[in-house]
Structure 1
């Protein structure tokens, strides 16, 4: 690449990393103040090199290849082991499939395999969500020692993501206890309106290193299907923990 093209390419990569979401060609054009043909041409090169991926709806996200350049060994190992397992879960369910880890009081998405169905929630790898309103976060935190929960919640604003979000600390503690007892966590329209999420922790020697989840629009889910998805999640998480 010429140096000017290299600068533009890094501008695209830095923008996608900073925004932490999938972005359309029009959005990248607006942020970078470059013309569409130039950005489109560079995106095709970056896709060819494996650093950017075009996903449903014509939006672009960073791939795991780029993220591995700056990831610690443990995170890279999670993605390496998780990729085939999450791919199998994704193929079996055709729902958005996620791998997340706890970063302080937030969940960081390491992998997101988007549902092929038209109605779906899009969340790019690298995105962050509050732990208290997400199934991923609850699945992980519920399997930490309970004496750590108050420290985790201390000073953290349990913000309402939707009208349904649990923000009372006592109610959240009971929700975490329930999640630990049943071995999975769920949330119904607590992080986003119109969708639910169910998650199972990935345990190694009892320690929750991560969690896997499925995000499902409400028209495609009921309690019976949730039980079916939990079974598949348990199988994936058990294989994941065993492989680690």
Structure 2
């Protein structure tokens, strides 16, 4: 009976809805939501309190989560899931030397990311200093629409992929400068592709500027982007390209033959 219900909900006999919901519960936690109540998890995931309780209790029993009587939080054991990805791919190890070289040349933090849904996920990072209010590391997620990494990847996708993204994406304002108009973002993505790089000026966080280039793979596809982030107070907007673009482009050209 349960299998029939799963099939009816998903249209696929091989789709396990309970696993999907369990993963949603895990993804409810992030850098800004490290401790959540049962009600918080139910609200964020859209599942019932009763279901959220079962998933959270299961995670706690398996030592993937901790519970202090009111708040749930992920335990260090959850890192096994991320490590499974990192240990099964050479992406990070292939990208890290180039990012460290960029940071050495520019004195700024550099990162590489891929798209996951409507977010970017950091897959490698070389941080020279903390320049954001939240800490970033491998596995951190940010909305694609207001990040240079996200725009550098989106700009190189087929038109139908870009239009599908614009149709469904929620362009939430992270700062007063964030572009929230889908028509405007479409124009920005077109300009990004034409010029070969993306610059975001304090749209993700006030005081932060970033520039990114696509990593164009040998098959012509773009699934990864490289960026440099800098404090707006130190680097004028007009100097982002002249200061950082040469290092980013050199890294992208060198990595082109590895992907």
In structure 2, distance between residues paired with 1:160 and 1:196: 16
Larger relative CO (CA 8 A, sep 6+): 1 or 2?
A: 1
What is the correspondence of 1:42-121 to structure 2 with a 5 Å cutoff? 67-71=82-86, 73=88, 76-116=89-129, 120-121=131-132
CA contact 2:114–2:122 (8 Å) conserved in 1: yes
CA contact 2:113–2:124 (8 Å) conserved in 1: yes
Q: 1:201 maps to what in 2?
A: 214
CA contact 2:120–2:150 (8 Å) conserved in 1: yes
Moved more, 219-228 or 186-195: 219-228
What's the secondary structure of 2:171's corresponding residue? Answer: coil
Q: Deviations over 1:37-69 (max 9, x none)?
A: xxxxxxxxx9xxxx9xxxxxxxxxx7xx98342
Q: Aligned-pair distance for 1:18?
A: 4.6
Structure 2 gaps, min length 5: 1-25, 35-65, 69-75
Q: 2:242 maps to what in 1?
A: 227
CA contact 2:196–2:213 (8 Å) conserved in 1: yes
CA contact 2:155–2:192 (8 Å) conserved in 1: yes
Q: 1:136 maps to what in 2?
A: 149
What's the secondary structure of 1:238's corresponding residue? Answer: helix
What's the secondary structure of 1:243's corresponding residue? Answer: coil
In structure 1, distance between residues paired with 2:198 and 2:131: 20
In structure 1, distance between residues paired with 2:240 and 2:185: 25
CA contact 2:103–2:110 (8 Å) conserved in 1: yes
| 1:191–1:157 CA distance, 2 compared to 1 (3 A) | same
Root-mean-square deviation (CA), in Å?
A: 3.0
Pick from 212, 215, 227 the counterpart of residue 226 of structure 2.
Answer: 212
CA contact 1:20–1:126 (8 Å) conserved in 2: no
Q: 1:157 maps to what in 2?
A: 170
1:146 aligns with 2:159: yes
Q: 2:30 maps to what in 1?
A: 19
In structure 1, distance between residues paired with 2:125 and 2:173: 24
| 1:186–1:225 CA distance, 2 compared to 1 (3 A) | closer
Q: 2:187 maps to what in 1?
A: 174
In structure 1, distance between residues paired with 2:112 and 2:81: 17
Q: 2:19 maps to what in 1?
A: none
Q: Deviations over 1:93-121 (max 9, x none)?
A: 111111100011110111222124xx622
Structure 1 gaps, min length 5: 1-14, 24-30, 34-45, 52-61
